[in-house]
Structure 1
């Protein structure tokens, strides 16, 4: 049974602010935001043919999210979990794994930290306007790796004139600070964004630094439960707008990260101090053009080239025991043509060309077999037609063809239906349904990687004989709303996966105390459930949102549920404008227990967390803020290998932001 006791304090606060907020009066009506991810064309969110979640810039400012991981943690139905063996977090959607979720920046892919999984902590948010999340197979628009859904980060468009933002903040983990001093600034963050120009050209420059010293349950000891990391992200961008309806742009970015992990390994009769350092560099270059012709035709061309370089060094006590270097190169070009309306039909055609290369060595020797360097490429074409069936109904038809250099051709169709079934006064009812075919080729890591952690008792070996995964995703639901006062969204989903790739535990072998795992097409699986979200503007000064997701999973070969998929997740958000210029934001999260091992039946316990923040506008663009994440200090039991609750305990921070100029943010 779902236990809602975690919400007692949050709901008590809600009742208090509801009573006080009822006497406040300042309306902040907003228009329905425009989104692009669901159909790769611009549409108001309430006109989308598929359900979509949006994390707006206002939400990022209210919650003071620093990374993409923090931006997504309050979205209903999203599960965030740490990347195994690394300092970072990955995303699971509708019970599908992080490898099956496509993460994009302005519609273009970003490199995965381990050759497959995108680390959401490795993207800082200085330039972000909003984040759009589409759940379920969107393969007709996005192809391989989008079986579970799509996360698309949309960056800000530059405006004429000059303006920008400067922000700084600092925080503390209390007694768990690396220094052992509760009042010290254990985590420091600073960012700036300067952009603007004239009507035909614009320039922008941004930077973000996040320096965290790490934390430990007992700072006087060697072990650190929270890794130390320093992340720096710099970007420059330029735009040329020679005439109305024509835009060209170029971007260049550099990201660096330095991580330190400190742990202990038991070598009878003692624990031996262990340390692992990792230095990461990512270079990203983007070119693009957008033409809107007088005939109504719109053409877009975008390209990205990204190099991701990771070098790690492991130490046992003070002795170096292994060096690993991984170099990934990703190149991607996408084109898209939107045709003018042809009667009740809106056609779109597009192509994608993708190439990725992986080179990995350990102590100078290749971990990718005799070749030492592996590569794959794909050519894809998609077509979609939005048919306005009547004033109330529309049908979106899509088809994507893909030819992979290693696995040949595949086609994936998609059909979506949307209907305005009820509209009277401010009341409106919308129904949505879609079915899509998902398809994912094994990534280079799963096929060729040798992940050697012999010092920790295991290795993971790639399998070059893997076959692609495929899925069928069914989504259906609707929205009932009363103007801008409240809305209820409900979406049911059913995903069926064939040839699902996972680490094959049943065929693991152990030699000299080292267990070798490999990837295999060992399962067929099903994930199903219901997602719901209720948004209510109680007063002009008080808004809140409650989301609940129920997920049921099943291994159709072995029986039983899939591991690391919680059955219940709850998200609660409350925004209260206590007085003009002062806003209090509350965010609560609950996640039920989850199966950790099918063999032993071990489960990770349920957990909850509450974040609270306050923003106060001082005038002249200056805002002061203060907040506490994980206010009630819920932290996992690090002595239990089956506890996957929050890693970090209570984190208290304070900061300031200054926005200036006519195009300030």
Structure 2
């Protein structure tokens, strides 16, 4: 549905009018959230429902990336299948359902939770329910990454160095992070530099079973990634009313991935290439910069504006060598590609307290993303003669616009509420010489209401502070350009129902979701808390993958498949007693697809159970801190698109750490990640006329990390 910009603005002003009118008659003081407060305080004081991970928690385990930090949070799981980029899930819902934000705005294309170091982050805000100010594309929730401010922290060091290495399967992964901060009058600055190597060796065995077929393929995959990054931050405050900040980064990467396959067919026919070797090499360059201006005006109002730009250029070469059982070359597949992405975003907001009890805000976002790519593919026989050639080019563009208005106010003693409305529109276009043009509009109105109730308690009540939360909101998920472009991505060997080609669908419609969240929280002591929450989501036009066969070629294509229901329960608890701190969380998820009337009808890869248990020992007089966390993700069994059945086995992870504080400026950190499980299994079954099952068993190995931390 498309509406005019004037219609959007009129609707927003109509919503703001009653809020402003109500402000005239209210004189109760507004609750203010102090940004410098601890994570638990931020969470308890905010009317909107969110989990806040403060800086101490970010650095506690010595994690190498934000993805590792997030896997221990309530309701969040990490799909870290060896050889693939980790996917963060909230409430069992993964890619596209979770909005990743950077300082409150949609993160640029090159932003990755796996690539960014926790040392560069101030805090993370996990929103279970959407707000009008942030993206409406948050069906599962939002993860807002707040970067550190420029300049040295108050009383903190001007220079920080962290150097060390991780070790896995005998491979060393050195890393160095250095930060220098300073201040000259009204200008504060920080320059961070990161150099690191990541090695991800994978060993696995895939087994295919069908009537008249039993085939086993052992394969190894080793990815080596080298990264160098510079990230300057600036803050300038020329006077009391104005401030200007800027954050940017330049990231160079070199990725070298080598994979080898060896097939043994006990029953049935061999594939065209029973032995194979492939290599993928790429050198991406990512550049990002933003500048933000804030001005304080009369009456406590505040005006913000921000302009951000992103650019990515990558060249990639892929070589596939298909061989027979005696390692004699049969075919060579050569692919050269070079995508280029450009993106800019202009956003702003106006905020003002009204009547002492209201905080009214309105704002906008405008953005444009362009992507162009060439792909040159050649197939050569054993003698070097060309047997296939393909030259493809395509260009795509995504235009995004959003307007929002919101009001947060105190209704009465113990009651506060939040009301917001957001209109977000996306238009995706694409064309190329190998696919039909794409022109798709997606957008939605997203009203949001949240309420917080704090029962009054007696002065001598030491049993804790109770809070009750309610959130109702509408969100949506727009298909991305890869899902929309009808170009085909072919597999090099063994096309089958469990290993199909991939193709987009330009007829996809956006998914729409209506959600209700309820929560009870109790806070006690300095940092103790317990929380129980429940949610229910109704999704319309859910996108599932349809696998079909045509002319003996299997193809997987996304398609809208009616409605779905997702619901769940979450429990969280934290307790500190002296030198010991304990934390626990547990989540139970359910889902049901209207289009799949069969057992295990649920959204793809949603685990039924997940949970974490952590314990930390920190004594003021001791020079050693110890701790660890055990995480469990139950089996993810689903029949997301009949007749396809998938079953990802349970995962158990144990992470341990020890920190030796040699002095106030020097620390040595030892951590071990991914203990507790040696093998992990994934199973995919196509229950067609001729059933076919593929089971893959991965070997799991722990990662040991030793890092020296020095501040000056």
User: Is the contact made by 1:509 and 1:516 (CA closer than 8 Å) also made in structure 2?
Assistant: yes
Is 1:403 aligned to 2:425, yes or no? yes
Q: Is the 8 A contact 1:143 1:439 kept in 2?
A: no
Post-superposition Cα deviations, 1:222-276, rounded to whole Å, max 9, x if no partner, equal 9534522222222112221112242102232112222233323554573212222
Write the distance in 2 (CA, Å) between the matches of 1:577 and 1:561: 43
CA distance in 2, matches of 1:541, 1:342: 45
1:241 and 2:237 equivalent?
Answer: yes
Q: Give the TM-score normalised by structure 2.
A: 0.79
Please give the secondary structure, in 2, of the residue aligned with 1:208.
Answer: strand
The partner residue of 2:480 within 443, 449, 472 is 443
Q: Identify if the C-alpha distance between structure 1 residues 272 and 159 changes in structure 2 by more than 3 Å, giving closer, same or farther.
A: closer
Offset at 1:648?
Answer: 4.5
Match of 2:224 among 216, 224, 228: 228
Mapped partners of 2:222, 2:541: distance in 1:
36
Per-residue CA deviations over 1:260-308 (Å, capped at 9, x if unaligned) read 3332355457321222223322110111011222420011111211123
Tell me what 1:527 maps to: 566
Residue 341 in 1 paired to residue 367 in 2?
A: no
Structure 1 position 172 matched with structure 2 position 155: no
Residue 465 of structure 2 is matched in structure 1 by 428
Contact 2:372-2:393 within 8 A present in 1 as well = no
Change in 2 beyond 3 A, CA 1:311/1:55: farther
What is the SS of the residue equivalent to 1:656?
strand
Task: Measure how far apart 1:168 and its partner are.
Answer: 1.0
Q: Which residue of 2 aligns with 1:34?
A: 35
Match of residue 106, structure 2, among 97, 104, 109? 109
Match of 1:652 among 692, 695, 704: 704
2:573 alignment partner, SS class: strand
Q: Which has the larger radius of gyration?
A: 2
Q: Please tell me whether residue 614 in structure 1 is matched to residue 658 in structure 2.
A: yes
Q: Which residue of 2 aligns with 1:555?
A: 593
- Judge conservation of contact 2:149–2:233 (CA < 8 Å) in 1: no
Q: Which residue of 2 aligns with 1:377?
A: 399
Listed as ranges, the matches of 1:202-351 within 5 Å are 202-217=188-203, 223-265=219-261, 266=263, 267=271, 270-317=274-321, 319=332, 321-351=334-364
Supply the distance in 2 between the matched residues of 1:147 and 1:349 (Cα, whole angstroms).
Answer: 22
The answer to which of 638-647 and 421-430 deviates more is 638-647
Distance 1:547 1:643 in 2: 31
Query: Could you tell me which of 61, 64, 71 is aligned with 1:63?
Result: 61
**How much has 1:414 moved relative to structure 2?**
0.4
Secondary structure, counterpart of 1:34 in structure 2? coil
Contact 2:99 2:135 in 1 (8 A): no
Give the number of the structure whose residues are more often strand, by fraction: 2
**How far 1:91 moved relative to its partner?**
1.5
Q: What's the CA shift for 1:121?
A: 1.5
Q: Quote how far apart the aligned CAs of 1:638 are.
A: 8.0
Q: Which moved more, 1:410-419 or 1:635-644?
A: 635-644
Match of 2:435 in 1: none
User: Which shows bigger deviation, 273-282 or 222-231?
Assistant: 222-231
Identify if the C-alpha distance between structure 1 residues 442 and 188 changes in structure 2 by more than 3 Å, giving closer, same or farther: same
Partners of 1:540 and 1:401 lie apart in 2 by 49
* 3-state SS, counterpart of residue 591 of structure 2: strand
Q: What does residue 90 of structure 1 align with?
A: 87
Q: Is the contact made by 2:648 and 2:682 (CA closer than 8 Å) also made in structure 1?
A: no
* Contact 2:105-2:135 within 8 A present in 1 as well: no
Name stretches of at least 5 consecutive residues in structure 1 with no aligned partner: 1-31, 179-185, 661-665
Residue 73 of structure 1: aligned partner: 71
Q: Is the CA contact (8 Å cut-off) linking 2:570 and 2:586 kept in structure 1?
A: yes
Partner of 1:455: 492
Q: CA RMSD in A?
A: 3.1
Q: Tell me the equivalent position of 1:13.
A: none
**1:568-619, Cα deviation, whole Å (9 max, x unpaired):** 0011111102552321121110011111555364422212110100011111
- Taking structure 1 as the reference length, what is the TM-score of the superposition? 0.84
Give the drift of 1:416: 0.3
Q: Which residue of 2 aligns with 1:582?
A: 624
CA contact (8 A) 2:582 2:616 kept: yes
Determine helix, strand or coil for the equivalent of 2:455.
strand
Cα distance change of structure 1 residues 302 and 130 upon mapping to structure 2, 3 Å threshold = same
* Partner residue in 1 for 2:124: 131
Of 169, 176, 179, the residue aligned with 1:193 is 179
CA distance in 2, matches of 1:614, 1:123: 22
Question: Could you give the per-residue CA deviations for residues 294-337 of structure 1, whole angstroms, max 9, x where no partner exists?
Answer: 42001111121112333332212395521232222221111011
Q: For residues 279 and 92 of structure 1, what CA distance do their matches in structure 2 show?
A: 28
Secondary structure, counterpart of 2:231 in structure 1:
strand
1:632 Cα shift? 2.9
Q: Assess, with a 3 A threshold, how the Cα gap between structure 1 residues 596 and 278 changes in structure 2: closer, same or farther.
A: farther
| CA deviation profile, 1:448-492 (whole Å, cap 9, x unmatched) | 263513314333222222112110111111201223252101110
What SS does the aligned partner of 2:366 have?
Answer: strand
Equivalenced residues, count: 604
SS in 2 for 1:214: strand
Q: Tell me the CA shift for residue 552 of structure 1.
A: 0.5
User: SS at the partner of 1:98?
Assistant: coil
Aligned to 2:688: none
Instruction: Assess, with a 3 A threshold, how the Cα gap between structure 1 residues 368 and 350 changes in structure 2: closer, same or farther.
Output: farther
Superposed displacement of residue 78, structure 1: 0.8
SS in 2 for 1:64: coil
Tell me if structure 1 keeps the 8 A contact 2:202–2:698.
no
Q: Is the 8 A contact 2:132 2:448 kept in 1?
A: yes
Contact 1:325-1:362 within 8 A present in 2 as well: yes
Deviation for aligned residue 1:93: 1.2
| Residue 147 of structure 2 is aligned to residue 155 of structure 1 | yes
Q: Deviations over 1:340-362 (max 9, x none)?
A: 23243221111111211222221
Taking the aligned partners of 1:517 and 1:190, their CA distance within structure 2 comes to 42
The counterpart of 2:414, out of the listed 392, 395, 416, is 392
**Would the alpha carbon gap of residues 631 and 152 (structure 1) be closer, same or farther in structure 2, given more than 3 Å must change?**
same
Q: Which runs of 5+ in 2 are unaligned?
A: 1-32, 205-216, 264-270, 323-331, 379-388, 428-439, 685-692
Distance 1:639 1:261, change over 3 A: farther
Worse-superposed segment, 75-84 or 569-578? 75-84
